[in-house]
Structure 1
Amino acid sequence: MKARISGRAAAFAVRRAKGWQLSYRGNPTVFNVKEMDVVRALGRTADTIEVDVKTIGEVERRLEIEWAKDRALRFAVLLLDPNEVTEGLEKVAAVLEDLLARDYVISHLESQFYQHELPPEADLGRATSLSDALPRLGELLSNLKERQQIIGQVFNSFEALPDSLFGGTDEKAAYRERAVAAGAFRSLVILSRDGILDDPAIFDLHERLAGLPDARRIVAAWTSSFGRTVSNLPPMRPDLADLTDDYDKDVVDFGGGPGGHQRLRNALEQQAAILDRVADGDYDNARRFARDLVQQQLATAGPSYLAKSLTRLSQRAREMDAFELELEWAYEAAEIQPDDARARTQFADALLQADRIEEALEEFGRGYELGERVYAINGRARAMRMLGRFDEELKLYQEACDLSEGSPEGVHSLVGIATARTDLGDIDGAIEELRGAISKFPFEPLPRIALATTLTQRGRFEEAWTQFQEAATLSADKLPSVNGLADICLRIGRLDEARRRYSDIANRYPRDISGHIGLIDTLRALGELNQAAMYARRTAERFPGSPKAIVKFAETASELGRHALARKILQAGIEKFPKHARLLIARTSAFRREGRYDRALQFAEAAAARFPYNRQLQRVRADMLRRLGQNDLSARIYRELVSSDETDVRSRNGLASVLIVEGKTSDARSLVENDNPQTKDEWRGFLLFASLIERLGDRQASWERLNWAKDHCPFAVERRLFACALAGQSARMGRARQAPRIEHIAERDIGNVIDFQIAAMTRRSSAKIAYGALTRNLPTNLEIIRDEIAKTYGIVEGRPRRSKAWIGRQIADNLLLAA
């Protein structure tokens, strides 16, 4: 749909089938108007823009941008106007300082003020004095003052162009306005060096004016009065530009001049080549290239730039889960330049990732002494979190927040406070902290990403979706947002969309492991286990230092019944990352799939004892206790988990299943009653509730719910559970031939036992084959049920010790415990 937006009027109008709908910023009222009313409301100024959008939310976000730009320009003019009384201007300056936190506001003001020199009467001195405690405004005014001479040169060179070049005086004025809006004047002012332009400056100007007529001829004429530096260097590749924070400063490190430019580019190309090897999982060559880089940069740029290069390589290695390389390069950087605060804190981060907490705390202390005070305190807070000392974590984040008051880096401390509140079980407090952080830093994506992630984990998917979308508009880095949106699709069963989104992420961001992991999990949810296993193997090869990749490789192998391979993968992974909780959980699950429930419980209890504050490990322990019939202890663990987080659906399901088996249906009902399941855990809760209904005597309602769920559940594993429940119910009602087909899986679970029961009851020839398959890797409690079925229906010789009713109850109970 088409929309018109005016920041000056703080309003927008959207074209509808029967006219226009007009809205004002901050006012939810919508007015149905005609086009002339739109013109009157928005005005006819160049400020009014027309855009094509898909949603009203997009229009509102664009209005917020245009409004901020307009208000910032107005406030800046007020500060410079000598006729304005000083009283009240401090508040104007403070508001302008907040608006300048948005990069696009700074660009807009520079574009406007760099098109012409300030008039002589402009009170730049008063404006500067008002910005003493306002760093962003101070920098803006300082640059404006220093650049007046070059601003005049850029303006005069444009004014000297003949009107005929544009087609007339009016056409030249219109072209000038469009050039200002494109940032052309600003670009020339910033990129000019003492009236001299280099090739990158000319290229940038061409790019900005590309959409305007006759741009090539106008650029040549406009820049003809400037001096030129001849450079044979081609434009820098985008991936190289991402490896330098301050190109000009880095050139100085390499000696300056054309030779410095070339040496810097060579160094950046070396770094890019190293990261390419890391991305391919070729760590040996990455290390070899890094050794070459050390020798060359020590000779050409010295230790300062080398420390910067190694720190950057360490950071990028971490982004690809190459933690061993992260630690190696961070250590080298700190050794080469011991007084570099950023190198020290990066080394501390790498030590923390390696679980060398005491050493990490020492390095954070050194970083604090070298000036990285806020970062160091936040790092210490992360260390306390790893130790499960959540009260200390919170205090440290609060200390960092106080220290960074008024600084942009304070946003990290505010998000940290929310994380600590979550760790302490104060979920509502965490969400309020994040909303406060968004209010304080409305144009920072980080608190919105954190809020969206928290809301996603709490099952508040619509709110989370909106926050991820908002965050995507605030940063050039869309990756956290697109990953978050894909994760929501996976969680709520929009699996085709999740697959499309994760495939797109994996293609567009091949170095981001989250996209690959998400795609693997989506394939598993769809039931495409062979494809998931193949992709997991390739991901583990590409990210050999990633525990997440190791987990997925092992899990997919285990799900296909490749138990020896899974054991080998997990043994190597745990030796490498002995304290990584996901690996320990994966090992427990692998024991379970092998039918070794006792061993799985032993492993889970040992892991939970080492990490008592890890909720996932405690839940896994409770799950194994439940499967082994230790209901009292498992129920106690589940209750503790639910009491600290009532939105923990998986723990609610675990507790409900125990209560139903024990006949406490009234207590279980409130835990799982849900007629609108979305996530995998909610679908399992739906199954538990259907089973509860059957035990209360309403078998028909239970049957209808299970049938509906089998047809509508998008998740393959859960859909199979509904088929198992229907088959079990069919057997209990003596209608085995009405039982749905149960998909065979490698794990010898209750579903395979039910499938064997149906085959035995219907005298299918496959019953003996199924019995033979169940002689391997079957848990002890299911072996008893298998043998009673086999004897009852003549699959093997011998008299059954139990009744058919007993078999039915045992199958129903074990299915509940498996769900």
Structure 2
Amino acid sequence: MEFIISGQAGVFASLKPAALYSLDGEAPVALKGHNLGLAFHGCSDTKRIAVHSVDQARRECELSWAKDRSLRCILLFLDPTEEPSDRLEFAECAEELIRDFSTRAFLLDQLSCSPLPDLTDFTLVANIKTSCPETWSILDEVLANQPIIRTVSEALQNKLKEFLDDPKQRAAMFDALTDVGAQRSLVEAKRANSPQTDMIVLRLIAQFRHIEGSRGLIEAWTAGMRSTKRLSPTTIDESEDEEPDNRVFGSTALGGRKAFEQAMKQQAAIVAKLRSRDLEGARRFVDDLVAAQKLNSSPEHVGKSLSRLSHEAKELGVPELQIEWAELAVKANPSDPVTFAHLADALISAFRFNEALAAIDSMKSLGASLSAENARARILRMTGRLVEARAAYRAAAQAHMDEPAVVHSLAGAAEILRDMNRYEEALAEYTELTETYPLEGTIWCGRASVLMDLGRFDEAISTFRISETHGSALIPKNGTATAYKRRGEFTKALKLFNEVAKEFPNDPVALCGRAEIYRDQGNFEAALDDYRRARDRSPFNPTPIIGVVETLKELRRFKEAGDVLQSAVRDFPLHAGLASLRAALLFRQSKYEEALQAYDHLIAQFPFHAASRKNRADVLRRLGRFDEALHAYDSILAEAPQFAPAKLAKLSLLIELHRFDEVMPELPSGQPKSELDWKFYFLKAVAREAQGKHALSLFNNGNRNAPFAKQRRLFAAALGRNKILHGQISKSLKLIRSQEGEISNVIWLHALAASGRKSTAKATFEQIVSNEVNASIIELSKEIASRYNIVDFPSSKSREWIFATEQRELLREAAA
């Protein structure tokens, strides 16, 4: 469906049938086709879009409206002719729009393209620092940059006049540069004395290469800003070739404004097909585009278009076309290293490493040595050879330190420290990189991710926001949502994941993130739907498959989980997460010896996979080999002291062994925030109870306030057990939230049996013994049923044994 939208007018119109829609949700108004233009008379932001539905068009128009209104509000706030009280209200309106619609990047782009008028009044800016921090932050940055903005803007205006005679062409080129943040990027680089100016210029040349004469204009405009090095497109790293937003695809047979408009129309049509995963439609549109270009352009030009489309398919989550178009690009243009870089990237992402190596060899032979070395290091990382991978990244950086794209080598080396769970070292390297490359959004994202690993969520969120101002919002938005999710703020996290899913409907990170929230809330079927949707839309990404298997495992659909996993392992034989999941499935089915062998095999291949090493220690614990388990936990913590799951499991085992003197000093104080915090808090409560100390307030706090459904069930089960222990049976029945496959179900059986509800207790017991595979749980259930005469066989254990075993299973489940 094709629509015309305008944020200035706050309306959008369908073309067939011709109808006008407003943002207030009122019924559309039918129009004659020739009257459509009247609805947008005087609007300078009208654009034609291809979308899948009216709702999608409405969302696009609403975002355009928010951008327009937030910019107007800021300009009115700076207008000295307005009343001071009105100006403060305008600032508040801008603040609300920035927060609700994430218009910060747009505003910085628009406010950095030209200097503010001389009559602008800045006197009220300081007044809004507390009440409107986002608005203040934008204005503070723009005001500080005014001298540089003036220099960059005047240089551009002079060159536009020199290169383009037509005022309309000049205006179109100026708007196009503003839309991709060209002026802002150069201003920020100039202010920071950053070496990234050359890289920015290369990106701009790549983005506008379809417009005749654009390279000469861009080089002349930036001549006084960049280094004296000769610009070479081979220095562009494969992951940073061009930003996907506002890229143009079109024929070089047209020039100036017509070429730009035609290219934008073709891009919108292809992007719409990619977003809806209409693979055949996207192929058809690209075939038409390539056919047209072959009539008017060189094979080199066709190859570059296909290469950019391959990158676009990657950004929009369509890996099948990413590979397909990258292969066509290489055939059309076998002399361009960037096309081989895109092909190598696509093949590596699909775990087709042997094929990728051939493309990497071609990259190197064509002069893209740094990109080739980074790609080889990436393969080493993905196959678990982390020491070799870090050495490869560092060697590449040392050999190419004068190239702008060396930042990707340095970031790769830092990221491997994260893989090794050496978080403090990774943070130090990322922090140093942000000082050297302050305009690189990916570096800020890496630093934010490490902060999240360390549980420093507030710092992580603020750092992701910095990243969002220096590139695409996709990764930082997903990262911010993940931070909110991990500390239990599900409403905020879902809002961000939903925003990403609307803009990038094939993005597996957003879909899987949303599914994880549903799992944390106990809504397993909804989680399964999103994981499967992500799997179907990202068939070369194993992460959604892991989510499907984990959820099926929680639903105790072991046969189905095993079938999915077996197929996935065939497709991704070198993926550590899938191999670990196979061992975990064996463990969950109480096949401990088989699980131990599976973990040994996995760890031999991926020695730095700390999660698998921790899970192996859990198997030793289940086998009663406590000293070996403690030694294994200590070995992990000696190498990665910040790896909290190992610390949690160790403390849980020490409590089980009643070694409280070693436990209590290690347990954190204060109100928990993240899921790990709540797990440690639960251990603290159980440890206090096991020592005969007051613990009810801790159990009650967790039962009321833990946002994670599984944690709440643990607290409720422990609280219910405490009530049974003290003869308060009716209260225990009101507290416990049973879940099949968890210790809560057994304690629920205990409460039912102790209350004399024999028929319900017997049904619960039969369900447990028929479905449960954990021998300890089955034995405990039988002893409860026997002691309360639910079944007709004698009890062999004491009452104390039952309560001690329940406590042991609570501890083990908390550390799982």
Q: Secondary structure at the match of 1:248?
A: coil
Counterparts of 1:206 and 1:316 in 2: how far apart (Å)?
Answer: 22
Helix, strand or coil at the partner of 1:798: coil
Q: Deviations over 1:529-549 (max 9, x none)?
A: 233233333333343443222
**Residue in 1 aligned with 2:460?**
464
Counterpart CA distance in 2 for 1:622 and 1:323 is 37
Match of 1:368 among 364, 370, 384: 364
Residue of 406, 416, 423 corresponding to 1:420: 416
Relative to structure 1, is the Cα distance of residues 324 and 606 closer, same or farther in structure 2, using a 3 angstrom cutoff?
farther
Deviation at 1:571, TM superposition (A): 2.8
1:725 matched to 2:708 = no
CA distance in 1, matches of 2:523, 2:399: 51
**1:558-597 matches, cutoff 5 A:** 558-591=553-586
- Determine the structure 1 residue equivalent to 2:152: 110
SS of structure 1 residue aligned to 2:807: helix
Aligned-residue identity in percent: 28
Aligned match of 1:397 in 393, 409, 420?
393
> Greater RCO between the two (CA within 8 Å, min separation 6)?
2
Label 1:321 to 1:674 Cα distance change in 2 as closer, same or farther (>3 A): farther
Contact 1:243 1:312 survives alignment (8 Å): no
More divergent stretch after superposition (781-790 vs 271-280): 271-280
RMSD over aligned Cα, in angstroms?
3.9
1:382 positional shift: 1.9
Normalised by the size of structure 2, how large is the TM-score? 0.70
Query: Which residue of 2 is the match for residue 485 of structure 1?
Result: 480
Pair 1:488–1:265, CA change in 2 (3 A): same
CA distance in 2, matches of 1:268, 1:494: 39
Q: What CA distance in whole angstroms lies between the structure 1 residues aligned with 2:473 and 2:765?
A: 53
The equivalent of 1:334 in structure 2 is 330
CA gap 1:388/1:285 in 2 versus in 1, 3 angstroms: same
SS of alignment partner, residue 541 of structure 1: helix
The answer as to 2:166 corresponding to 1:196 is: yes
What is aligned with 1:59?
A: 136
Q: Is the Cα–Cα contact under 8 Å of residues 320 and 512 in structure 1 kept in the other structure? A: yes
- Alpha-carbon distance between aligned partners in 1 of 2:212 and 2:422, rounded to the nearest angstrom: 46
Unaligned residue ranges in structure 1 (runs of 5+): 7-14, 18-42, 73-104, 116-143, 148-187, 210-240
Give the Cα–Cα distance (whole angstroms) in 2 for the partners of residues 256 and 321 of structure 1. 28
- In the alignment, which residue of structure 2 is the partner of 1:319? 315
**Contact preservation (8 Å) 2:250, 2:289:** no
**Letter of the 1:319 counterpart:** E
| 1:665 alignment counterpart | 660
Larger radius of gyration: 1
Q: Decide whether aligned partners of structure 1 residues 590 and 3 sit closer, same or farther in structure 2, where only a CA change above 3 A counts.
A: farther
* Partners of 2:620 and 2:629 within 8 A in 1: yes
1:716 and 2:709 aligned: yes
Distance 2:687 2:742 in 1: 21
> What residue identity is the alignment partner of 1:759?
L
CA deviation string 1:228-267 (max 9, x = no partner)? xxxxxxxxxxxxx999552215999987444999899888
1:762 aligns with 2:762: no
* Pairwise CA distance, 1:686: 0.9
2:209 to 239, 243, 246: 246
Number of residue pairs matched?
A: 643
Match of 2:697 in 1: 704
- 1:206-245 superposed matches below 5 A: 244-245=207-208
* Aligned match for 1:789, one of 774, 784, 789: 784
Aligned to 1:28: none
**CA–CA distance in 1 between the matches of 2:601 and 2:393?**
31
2:794 is paired with a residue of what secondary structure?
Answer: coil
- The alpha-carbon deviation at position 720 of structure 1 amounts to 0.5
Give the structure 2 partner of residue 236 of structure 1: none
Candidates 639, 644, 647, aligned match of 1:649: 644
1:385 and 2:355 correspond:
no
Query: Using the alignment, how far apart are the partners of 2:342 and 2:470 within structure 1?
Result: 26
8 Å CA contact 1:724, 1:754 repeated in 2? yes
1:409 aligns with 2:372: no
In structure 2, relative to structure 1, the CA distance for the partners of 1:309 and 1:776 (3 Å cut) is farther
**Deviation (angstroms), 1:553:** 3.0
Matched, 1:780 2:775: yes
Distance 1:429 1:592 in 2: 33
Match for 2:483: what amino acid?
I
Letter in 2 for 1:374: L
Does the C-alpha gap of structure 1 residues 595 and 429 become closer, same or farther in structure 2, counting only changes over 3 Å?
A: closer
Give distance in 2, aligned partners of 1:202 and 1:763: 83
Matches within 5 A, 1:276-315: 276-281=272-277, 283=279, 297-298=293-294, 300-315=296-311
| Counterpart secondary structure, 1:775 | helix
Correspondence list, 1:142-161, <5 A: 147=159
The structure 2 residue matched to 1:453, chosen from 441, 446, 449, is 449
Offset of residue 753 of structure 1: 1.3
Shift of 1:343: 1.5
What is the CA distance between 1:413 and its match in structure 2?
Answer: 2.7
- Structure 1's 403 and 265: CA in aligned 2 closer, same or farther, altered over 3 A? farther
The alignment partner of 1:647 has SS state of coil
Q: Distance in 2 between matches of 1:644 and 1:58?
A: 44
In structure 1, the residue matched to 2:739 is 745
Post-superposition shift, 1:456? 0.7
TM-score (norm 1): 0.70
Pairing 1:553–2:539 present:
no
Q: 1:498 aligns with which of 482, 493, 499?
A: 493
Determine the C-alpha separation between the residues in 2 that align with 1:254 and 1:708.
61
**Is the partner of 1:753 in helix, strand or coil?**
helix
Q: CA deviation at 1:69?
A: 3.9
Q: Does the 8 A contact of 2:752 with 2:760 survive in 1?
A: yes
Q: How far is the alpha carbon of 1:617 from its aligned partner?
A: 2.4
1:738/1:408 CA distance change after superposition, 3 Å: same
Name the amino acid aligned to 1:639: D
Bigger Cα displacement from structure 2, 264-273 vs 650-659: 264-273
Change (3 A) 1:502 1:371: same
What residue identity is the alignment partner of 2:151?
L
**1:295 CA displacement:** 5.9
State the Cα deviation string for residues 99-149 of structure 1 (Å, max 9, x = none): xxxxxx4xx42323466xxxxxxxxxxxxxxxxxxxxxxxxxxxx6xx4xx
Cα deviation code 1:738-791 (max 9, x no counterpart): 314332334x22221111111111111310110111123311221111111111
Distance in 1, matches of 2:371 and 2:498, equals 35
Seen in structure 2, the aligned counterparts of structure 1 residues 791 and 339 have a Cα distance that, compared at 3 Å, is same
Q: Which amino acid aligns with 2:738?
A: H
Distance 1:447 1:255, change over 3 A: closer
Distance 1:449 1:406, change over 3 A: same
Q: Deviations over 1:463-506 (max 9, x none)?
A: 2122112222333x222222222111111111122222222222
Task: Tell me the CA shift for residue 442 of structure 1.
Answer: 2.1
Partner residue, 1:11: none
Is 1:439 aligned to residue 435 of structure 2? yes
Is the 8 Å Cα contact of residues 321 and 545 (structure 1) preserved in structure 2?
no
Structure 1 position 516, deviation (Å): 1.6
Q: Which stretch of the first structure deviates more once superposed, 555-564 or 443-452?
A: 555-564
Kept in 1, the 8 Å contact 2:420–2:608? The answer is: no
Separation in 1 of the partners of 2:395 and 2:355?
22
Structure 2: runs of 5+ lacking an equivalent:
1-72, 79-86, 90-115, 179-203, 216-248
Q: Secondary structure at the match of 1:506?
A: helix
Aligned equivalents of 2:594, 2:387: Cα separation in 1: 35
Instruction: Give the Cα separation in 1 of the matches to 2:346 and 2:175.
Output: 43
